[in-house]
Structure 1
């Protein structure tokens, strides 16, 4: 009983601490250089795949756009449009309000394994994370980085406490610790904890390690939906 109480006190203490982020000039320069080089190469090499996915998305649901753009919150709370291949029906945002009570993860995110809004093509590109590839454009624009916390929705940030908001101290990423480890198998608070730990420890070698793990996840999905 005493051990549990001590653990709870330590957990609350961690949530009150202010994170010291690695923002050294050398690291930020190397990170941005990698972002530009990898995003440019990725967009060029993957352009045939982009074309095929665009055809499949339009073939299944001709009414909607190929690229879905959504307002997300980035570094220091600045909002931007994040790009994804559309994996849902065209009116998915309008249907969300009727599904909120079916959320399958704890906390401020919405995740539903058998979301009826997801198309057949959408299920495949979500499971393989191919729907995220257009975010390479966000990386080139400087709105995102290859590695970092995932960019939240404004409605999620509206309910953030001070601890949660520390996720917004750095550029959001296309991939991160959460994506290459537990993905949808953990709740919101656990995801925040992972992001905060990344902010404390981030460095060029850690980013490379996460990118390499992401490649493995693309080949062998780990719970994406």
Structure 2
């Protein structure tokens, strides 16, 4: 598994419709070290890949995901909003996207829901044999449910507090696998924070950077994975410091 590198935010979403099979296939083709995507549950308990609470922005439909059935969602066009050439792109299921990913890259699985979603996602990860590469990004309460199902499933702590120090301490105390720093937060003590996290073997994701110069600076400081919407350029930049694409 990659020790550090570039994370494709919602797949290769700069040129492809986010959170779709085509965006994920392109991210894999380019050599992303980690791919981030979002999971929601439909009213009939299907696990779909969708960032927003509604289907309005990224499909030709409307309504809350939690109020729609899979049969309704699978008929929607999830590509035309990005470009006419993606007409017919569909909203994928979690099982479908897992089958697209090779087993030598990290999967940053951001949960958009509660305990029920967490348990369902964790079960599919177990069933698909993807525990070695999947990191479920969720809050502390959902993490408890995931760990109860299987204590080996990795968790990224997404329950950020107003204090970065508290966020770090909670992550360490609860033995999470990773956390995710936010670009908009104060990074004054970043080097000291990174040193503490490294000592506790916690992976550091950073949301986000779209500029190679900034991305390289973050990697050189010790950030493990930089989330980006500018995947191709960021991967090229990473090569200049010895981080080869995953192929």
TM-score category of the 2 structures, normalised to the smaller one: under 0.3
TM-score by length of 1: 0.26
Higher relative contact order, chain-length normalized (CA < 8 Å, sep 6+): 1
